[in-house]
Structure 1
Amino acid sequence: MPVPRFHVDAELDSGREIVLPAAVSRHATRTLRLEEGDPIIVFDGRSDFEYDATIVASVVSRPDRPGRGGGVKAVLGAARAVASESPLQIELVQGLCKGERMDFVVQKATELGVCAIHPLLCERSVSRPDPGRAKRRIEHWQGVAIHAAQQSGRVRIPVIAELQVYEDWMAKGGSSGFFLHPEAKESPSEVDMTGFEGSDLDPEKSLRVIVGPEGGFSQREVERAQEAGYRGLRLGPRILRTETAGLVAIALLQARLGDLG
């Protein structure tokens, strides 16, 4: 069995003793059945390093107070640089989709190496959560991203931005990129990537991929993206679902400019 990896939002340093968060501790002891002396790997999600560690005490928070109290203690060993982050800084801008579809998008986009995910409310978005529920969804998606990073070997956690209205997000401007549309003229293999290819690739420059919701973009949203400088991109002769289209585009861009293939 592979050595389990855990994200710990704390300052990490070789030789330091840390306490895993309560939820992580419960998963480690109750699901994975880890015990004192077992090896684990921890990372903080902000650097390019992970740490070998050893469990030194297995103390889980009280079952009648879930999420409270202490947890598993571990001692950090050597730091190890991990080259799991793509040189291509891709941000997925996803028209909000319903329920588990959005979970799927966040999970797989994290596995594919995106650095940020921006959920947007579009004109044709079916799901329209109120502010309180939207905040809870953002927290949930951040958890999905953390679990996907743990599983996939990433050492950095994608940022899940706050839910915004499409027009408001466009008004802020930002990096260059593409919006997906079945009637666009260019495909990922045809599009001019000047400024992103080879030695011209700037690791600090992000490339945004904008995907519509279940009902697609309205004509006004297409025009707004073009006005903002985003270029249309098609993904072949078939119309892909919203939870599929962005992931396909990311994989194709990673294969051409990033670290896939």
Structure 2
Amino acid sequence: MNLSRIFVLAKNVFQEVVRDRILYIIGFYAVIIAIAFRVLPEFAATTEDKMFLDFGMAAISAICLIVVIFIGTGLVNKEIEKRTVLMLIAKPISRSEIIIGKYLGLSAVLAVLIAAMTTIYLGFLQFGNIDKPTVSILIAAIFLFLQLSLIGAVAIALGVFTDSLLATALTFAVYLIGNITQDLVQLGRLSRNPGMERLTQGLYLILPDLSRLDLKNDAVYGLQALPDTIALITSAGYGLLYSVMLLAIAIFVFSQREF
């Protein structure tokens, strides 16, 4: 595995996404956050600060989720459908390098989007003199990056062996269920149905527990609500390990495909 080739592939993905004007989304975020900043006080005169804190973080998460899923599912699948993958594999590039390069390029795009939107968000909080837990927000932004990078790995893995539309739908499903896997386990126990309990336990074991990487609500309520350092490190390690496992699956499937 050659790191320089992986870096070139990642750089190409980043540049291609930038050429598609995806970074205009940063401007879109600035517009909707400005509208929320102006409109929310008219609907909630006493809780507008808390609502704005909630809205700003939720908007970053939602926008970046859409970006990472729609780009991630097409990164490899688009190469397969257009047959340009034949030119890639004809070069001295291994299939594992292609997958890792695509993933790192997508992660770079995601990092730029989250960093830029978080900066805009903090800027509005500062401008409005809103009491803000800055450290908590930054930690939540880092974990949002880890969460959506994991979803990016899911999107790439699914995009390797199915078409883009189905991969997109399945990735959205993984995201939605992954955020409630702990609740599903509790629901299975409350049902007192052995079959339901086995199903919910299976989903919990197979699907990523994305709630471990979701600190948005914790950030809104201040640093004291964040998990301790050991828990944060453990959750970050969980996210990274799960992403590596998904990429390994994607590499294996991609290596077995005939073109």
- Structure-1-length-normalised TM-score: 0.25
Higher helix share: 2
Bigger relative contact order, structure 1 or 2 (CA pairs below 8 A, ≥6 apart): 2
- Structure-2-length-normalised TM-score: 0.25
